[in-house]
Amino acid sequence: MRGEAVAVVGASGAGKSTLGRVILGLEAPTVGGIAEHPDGGALRNTVVFQDSGDAVNPTWTIGRIVNEAAAVRGEKLSEEGIANLLVSVGLPASYAGRHPHEVSGGELQHAALARTMAAKPDLTVFDEALASLDASVRDDVTELLLTLKRPDETWLFITHDLVSAARLCGRVVVMEAGRVVESVRSSDLKLAKSPALRRLLKDAAELYGH
């Protein structure tokens, strides 16, 4: 539903990223289709990847990267506007003049969030966006994400990390072998019916100790 945060979880090869690419229109479905925007308009969407460095022009400054996202919807941000976005995601305003190779991986993920905010999308797909971060940075970005979502914005988290999925999303969809095998509210995860979700719960308990 519009405005919802949904996690798509499953083991490697379950079809999570393929689903995300189909939803974004980057790949055509082999069977079935994707429902259109309810008002008949086109969705503005964006994607945050596991390694944001692979998704940006390395010769651009972070300020330009953020501004180009706004340009997609016909807006040009002022220097103050860019600075405010960077500060809102926990980066110093001075980072607008830095290049991707001049910041850490965690800082680049923060910059990717500023870029997403500048785009003001209807739908954001996070494709393993937290996977490459160490535990402390991942927790920091997770807490930041919880404060950033607009009420009318839909988020789709593609991840194998069930703990992060449960923290960030109200609903969890489980995939296995290219099919959805279970959909459950995050608060009801321990009532898992599918073997795939029970395996993920077991792995999470072993990894995080709960």
Band of residue 38 on the pLDDT scale cut at 50, 70, 90? low
Q: What is the pTM of this model?
A: 0.76
Stretch among 28-32, 101-105, 167-171 having the lowest mean pLDDT: 28-32
pLDDT reported for residue 112: 87
Q: b/e string for 118-156 if b means 16 or more Cβ within 10 A?
A: bbbbbbbbbbbbbebbeeebbeebbeebeeeeeeebbbb
pLDDT in tens, 127-183: 887 777 777 778 888 888 888 888 888 899 998 888 888 899 999 999 998 889 999
Mean pLDDT for all residues in the chain: 83
What per-residue confidence (pLDDT) applies to 17?
A: 82
CA gap 191, 172 in Å, rounded? 12
Residue 8's alpha-carbon distances to 55, 169, 175, 203, 207, in angstroms, are 21, 10, 7, 16, 19
